[in-house]
């Protein structure tokens, strides 16, 4: 018989995985993994501002993530720096400012490990409700924006020519990313959010013939990683958040084995037998 806190962790993790699946696919297609990392790092600044001004944690993290997204768009249009340079500056700057602010607040006791790596076993019923309702909102928005997002991923100019307004779709995509990171922070932590976004999507890519199939499969693989990671954590007494990411990594490695085996077999053949 599973304890109540473990069941709550399963429900929360699966709800988050179903949301990050299609969102992670867009991150992988658009090669925006570093952007997801930047958004995640900015969450610590949101935590620090929440404690300093005594405001709601979720709203503070979401607000900072949105501000970073808008600042990135502004700098990309006005400055000569490349996107990866701007992301590097924003990522490390927001993380460092957050840590400095936390250090200044000597009157506040804060468990940085819990924020960095999450504590899915501590989720409440209210957290589960927030995850599922927020996830349903995000997935619903992605359904509405799916065509312009996928089209602009293939060709920004073609999407504009078809009147799909890819710039607006990208802005909404960034806002959805900010919302998911604010929700996910408590579960898998600031440093592991990007891994949960990218690894299941990268695994699903190997078995998908269409964008829609990849999105669904990424959600299912993410949910499987959550279940496997939590049960593995229970058996081995390891941290739950990192265990979920390790389970996702194991699925990714397993997806590589057939092609690796085929490649080794071809390498082992004499040159004359390779066709």
pLDDT in tens, 203-233: 998 888 888 999 999 999 999 999 999 999 9
Q: What is the b/e burial string over 42-81, where b = at least 16 CB atoms within 10 angstroms of the residue's CB?
A: bbbbbbbbbbeeeeebbebbbbbbbebbeebeebeeeeee
Evaluate whether residue 77 is within a structural domain. Answer: yes
Evaluate whether residue 226 is within a structural domain. Answer: yes
Number of domains in the chain: 1
- Tell me, what's the pLDDT at 274? 47
Evaluate whether residue 274 is within a structural domain. Answer: no
Is 45 within 8 Å of 64 (Cβ atoms)? Answer: yes
Evaluate whether residue 128 is within a structural domain. Answer: yes
For 87, other C-beta atoms within 10 Å of its C-beta total 24
Is 214 within 8 Å of 204 (Cβ atoms)? Answer: yes
Here the tokens at position 118 are 């999450």
How many CA atoms lie within 13 Å of 225's alpha carbon, on the beta-carbon side?
36
User: What is the band of 275 on the pLDDT scale with cuts at 50, 70, 90?
Assistant: very low
Evaluate whether residue 273 is within a structural domain. Answer: no
Instruction: Name the strand (E) or helix (H) holding 155.
Output: none
Q: How far apart are CA 47 and CA 45, in angstroms?
A: 5
Q: Report, as an integer, the average pLDDT of 87-113.
A: 82
Evaluate whether residue 275 is within a structural domain. Answer: no
Domain extent, residue 125, equals 4-267
Here the tokens at position 79 are 């400055």
Q: Report, as an integer, the average pLDDT of 84-97.
A: 85
117: CATH: 1.10.3470.10
Evaluate whether residue 106 is within a structural domain. Answer: yes
Evaluate whether residue 251 is within a structural domain. Answer: yes
């Amino acid at each position: 018989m599973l304890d109540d806190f473990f069941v709550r962790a399963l429900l929360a993790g699966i709800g988050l995985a179903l949301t990050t699946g299609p969102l992670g696919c867009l991150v992988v297609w658009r090669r925006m993994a570093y952007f997801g990392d930047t958004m995640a790092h900015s969450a610590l600044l949101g935590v620090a501002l929440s404690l300093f001004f005594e405001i709601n944690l979720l709203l503070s993290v979401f607000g900072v993530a949105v501000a970073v997204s808008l600042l990135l768009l502004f700098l990309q249009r006005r400055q000569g720096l490349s996107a990866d340079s701007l992301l590097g500056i924003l990522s490390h700057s927001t993380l460092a400012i957050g840590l400095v602010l936390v250090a200044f607040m000597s009157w506040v006791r804060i468990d940085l490990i819990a924020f960095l790596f999450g504590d899915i076993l501590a989720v409440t019923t209210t957290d589960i409700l927030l995850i599922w309702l927020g996830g349903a909102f995000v997935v619903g928005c992605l359904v509405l924006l799916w065509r312009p997002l996928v089209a602009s991923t293939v060709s920004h100019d073609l999407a504009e020519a078809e009147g799909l307004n890819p710039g607006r779709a990208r802005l909404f995509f960034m806002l959805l990313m900010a919302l998911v990171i604010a929700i996910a922070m408590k579960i898998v932590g600031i440093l592991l959010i990007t891994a949960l976004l990218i690894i299941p999507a990268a695994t699903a890519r190997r078995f998908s013939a269409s964008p829609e199939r990849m999105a669904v499969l990424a959600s299912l693989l993410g949910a499987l990683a959550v279940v496997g990671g939590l049960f593995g954590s229970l058996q081995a007494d390891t941290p739950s958040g990192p265990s979920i990411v390790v389970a996702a990594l194991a699925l990714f490695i397993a997806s590589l084995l057939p092609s690796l085996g085929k490649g080794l077999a071809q390498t082992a053949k004499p040159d004359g037998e390779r066709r």
